[in-house]
Each structure stands twice: as C-alpha cells, then as structure tokens.
Amino acid sequence: MDHVSPPGRPAALRLGSVAPDFTADTTQGRVRFHDWIGDAWAILFSHPDDFTPVCTTELAEVARLAPEFARRGVKVIGLSANDVASHRAWIDDIHDIGGVPLRFPIIGDPDRTVAMLYDMLDALDPTNRDAAGVPFTVRDVFVIDPKKLIRLKLSYPASTGRHFAEILRAIDSLQLGDAHRVTTPANWQPGDEVIVHPAVADAEAAQLFPGFRTVRPYLRYTPDPRGAP
C-alpha cells in the first residue's frame, strides 16, 4: 500500500483540511482514494476488526441505508484492520445478519497504513491493542466533500456503535448550507426552520429569505429553503 503523504506522524486533520490521498486494496479492487471520490461526497468510516459484533451491525446498517446515501450523492467506503480476504469472508456474515447486500468497498488495512494516515488509532484504551501491542483502529467517520475537504469528523470508542441517522442528518445540514446561505439549529431535521447565516445582512436576507423572523439581531429564522422532505 502506498500513499502520497510521507510516513511518520500524520498532519493534523482539521475541518477544512484536504483529506489525505492514498492507494489501497479493497473488496472491490485497488483504488486511489481521490480518484474514487471523483465529484461526489464521500464517507470514510473505520472499524477495529473483522468478525466483531458492533462492527457487523454497523456495516449491515450502512448497507441498509445505501439508498439514502445515494440520494444525497454520497459514496461510502469502509476500512478495517484486516486484509481483503478476511473482509470478503466477513461480508457473508454481514449479508446474512443484515438481510441486505453490502455493495460498497471495504479497505484492507492490516498494517494500519491508512489508519495512521488519518490518525485513527486508539491511544486511550490500553486494552485495545493487537498481539504485537499496536493500537486498534477506532470507529472514526470522515465526511468529505467533492473538493476533497474534510467537512465532518467523528470518533467513537470501540464499544459504541455509531448512529448513522445522525450522520445522514449532518450531511443534510452541510449540503443545505453549501446550497443556501443558512446554518442549522440544535436538533434540526430536514424541513425544520433554519438560521440565516450571520454573514448575511438584513437587507440581503430580505431578498434571499422574504419574511424571515428575527429573534435577536444575530438569530434570524427562515423556512427550510428546500421545503418539507
């Protein structure tokens, strides 16, 4: 496996950073990550190990939600710290348990190359190590936009499965904000009111969002520009 960044300690992956590119073997062949993303949005999500209970339920859920990701123009790619042959055997279990086919690729990362590149290793839990003492990969999520920028990152401990409906909700918010000059309030769901972006002056807001309501000078609400879901 090779990647474009030099080996060693990864650069800080902040929101707005370019997602590191890499080449890796997957269950659907060898991919160059940026080429694989193309002009789409993408999710890269990692797993500590194959044939583990929480990971299996997560992959089955993402397979079930495949139409929702596709509807948003989001490509999904998984990663686990095992080789591709192990992943392919594991997929049979995932199909059987989830009852739906898994159609997205899973990266083989037995030497933790991509995990290290994305700083996915568990430095907190001393029990979360392989036989050689190498930290396991944690449950990270990176949402990457078509410009290859990291727009969202989440880290979960190995014991806690992810809430993929929340990840979809966050993607809805990001895509809405890119299309319109709005932000989303706490607990927002598609179709709820949104917040006029603070950088939009009232005069411009009146043109963009007729009838917006002001709660405070810095807090102005308007209906979801996309309407009800």
* pTM given for the model: 0.88
Give 55's DSSP letter. H
Residue 188 in any domain: the answer is yes
CATH code where residue 200 lies: 3.30.1020.10
For residues 120 and 7, state if they share a domain: yes
Q: How many domains does the chain have?
A: 2
For residues 108 and 154, state if they share a domain: yes
Residue 73 in any domain: the answer is yes
Residue whose tokens read 């392919």: 88
Question: Which residues, in sequence order, are CB contacts of 181 under 8 Å at separation 6+?
Answer: 196, 197, 199, 200, 208
CATH code where residue 81 lies: 3.40.30.10
Residue 172 in any domain: the answer is no
CA distance 175 to 177: 5
CA distance 141 to 211: 38
Any catalytic annotation for residue 40?
no
> Whole domain around residue 75: which residue ranges?
2-160
CA distance 47 to 40: 23
For residues 152 and 200, state if they share a domain: no
Task: Give the active site residue among 19, 24, 43, 55.
Answer: 55
CA distance 158 to 202: 46
Q: Using CB atoms within 10 Å of the CB of residue 2, give its burial: 0 to 12 exposed, 13 to 18 middle, 19+ buried.
A: exposed
pLDDT tens, residue order, the chain (229 aa)? 433 333 444 567 899 999 999 999 999 999 999 999 999 999 999 988 889 899 999 999 999 999 999 999 999 999 998 899 999 999 999 999 889 999 999 999 988 899 889 988 766 445 555 555 556 667 899 999 999 999 999 998 878 899 999 999 999 999 999 999 999 999 999 999 999 999 999 999 999 999 999 999 999 999 999 876 7
